[in-house]
């Protein structure tokens, strides 16, 4: 049993508890609806993140493979010299968007300049191909980071909402209902006792006249 709240069994408390019960039930419904919507968005994001991660990892593995071939054909000094003076720059903007009352980040990626900032005569074609692959996969890596951060934030909010729903459903609402039943029963007992007392007084008055 959820137990009862410690209150005085009177009509004023009964009215207060009934109002609290109405509010608690309304709050429970709103939180339950929020929980269901969060779960829908969470499941969609999980699926999208998993699919995108598989694609990104596959593309990165291919880029790594091509880069390894280029690395085997180039000396360390030539490789370091080719990558010493990059011309490309990357800027990442962050803004917030609202997903079921949860502020999740959205990333805006902006690249400027060219990645091939080295002499083509000093590097093999595999090197160019590997950098091109890395450049192509970068935006999807940012999108993946955005989705996975959203998944994390939604998971936190789902857990908080679940605890609140359970607290209302299994603790507060049953306590209010049990307390209301108890006060109602006590008031009925008081009413019956008063009625019995009045009847006895009436009988005594009738006998004395």
pLDDT by 10s per residue, the chain, length 209:
467 888 888 999 999 999 999 999 999 999 999 999 999 999 999 999 999 999 999 999 999 998 888 888 777 777 777 667 667 788 889 999 998 889 999 999 888 876 665 555 556 778 788 888 888 999 999 999 999 999 999 999 999 999 999 999 999 999 999 999 999 999 988 888 888 888 887 777 777 76
In a domain, 204, yes or no: no
Closest CA to 142 of 188, 96, 110: 110
Report pLDDT for 117: 57
In a domain, 69, yes or no: yes
In a domain, 25, yes or no: yes
In a domain, 94, yes or no: yes
Say if residues 118 and 82 touch (Cβ distance below 8 Å).
yes
Report pLDDT for 208: 72
Domain of 143, CATH number, reads 1.10.287.3240
In a domain, 167, yes or no: yes
From CA 119, how far away is CA 125, in angstroms rounded? 11
pTM of the model: 0.79
Count, residues in the chain:
209
Domain range holding 173?
11-198
Report pLDDT for 32: 97
CA dihedral 119, 120, 123, 127 (to 10 degrees): 110
Count of structural domains within the chain: 1
């Amino acid at each position: 049993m959820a137990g009862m709240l410690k209150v005085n069994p009177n009509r004023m408390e009964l009215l207060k508890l009934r109002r609290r019960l109405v509010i608690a039930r309304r709050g429970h419904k709103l939180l339950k609806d929020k929980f269901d919507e969060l779960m829908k968005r969470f499941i969609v994001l999980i699926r999208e993140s998993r699919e995108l991660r598989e694609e990104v990892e596959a593309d990165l593995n291919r880029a790594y493979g091509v880069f390894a071939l280029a690395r085997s054909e180039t000396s360390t000094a030539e490789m370091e010299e080719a990558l010493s003076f990059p011309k490309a720059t990357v800027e990442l903007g962050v803004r917030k968007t609202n997903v079921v009352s949860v502020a999740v980040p959205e990333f805006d990626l902006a690249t400027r300049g060219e990645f091939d900032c080295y002499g083509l005569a000093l590097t093999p074609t595999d090197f160019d191909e590997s950098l091109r692959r890395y450049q192509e996969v970068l935006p999807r890596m940012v999108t993946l980071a955005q989705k996975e951060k959203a998944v994390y934030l939604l998971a936190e909010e789902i857990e908080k909402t679940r605890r609140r729903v359970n607290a209302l459903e299994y603790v507060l609402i049953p306590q209010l209902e049990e307390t209301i039943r108890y006060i109602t029963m006590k008031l009925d007992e008081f009413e019956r006792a008063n009625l019995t007392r009045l009847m006895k007084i009436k009988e005594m008055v009738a006998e004395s006249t």
